[in-house]
Amino acid sequence: MTWTSFECRKLQKLKYDDQNQSLEIIYREGDHARADGITLRRYEELISAAVEDRDIYFANLIEPHVVWRRAAARPPKIPPKFIALMLVVICSCWLLFWFADHLLFADRRR
């Protein structure tokens, strides 16, 4: 029960558990999934299939047995409006302090 690197457009690694007849899957985009009810024969057919046929074989025979799929953790997106608002606030504060310094305390500099 070790991870098998898998040359395919959709998948990256597979791990077959013959006791549970399950297949753990790591997709190229980082998602994890588990397929139950996969016989050893079906797993061997998938592994021995030609590289160009693996995507079709996986989509037709393995993917219907996927019982759960967990998306990979993605970094939170910062909306562009928030970034623009923060830039406006920073520039406004800078201008406010610059004007306050030069207008209110101009006599102390001389």
Mean pLDDT computed over 61-83: 84
pTM for the structure as a whole: 0.61
What is the per-residue pLDDT across 18-43, written as a single tens digit (0 to 9) for each?
888 889 988 888 889 999 988 888 88
With the C-alpha atoms ordered 63, 68, 73, 78, is the resulting torsion angle positive or negative? positive
Predicted confidence (pLDDT) at residue 110 exceeds the cutoff of 60: no
- pLDDT score for 54: 86
Mean pLDDT computed over 43-67: 86
How many whole angstroms separate alpha carbon 32 and alpha carbon 27?
A: 6
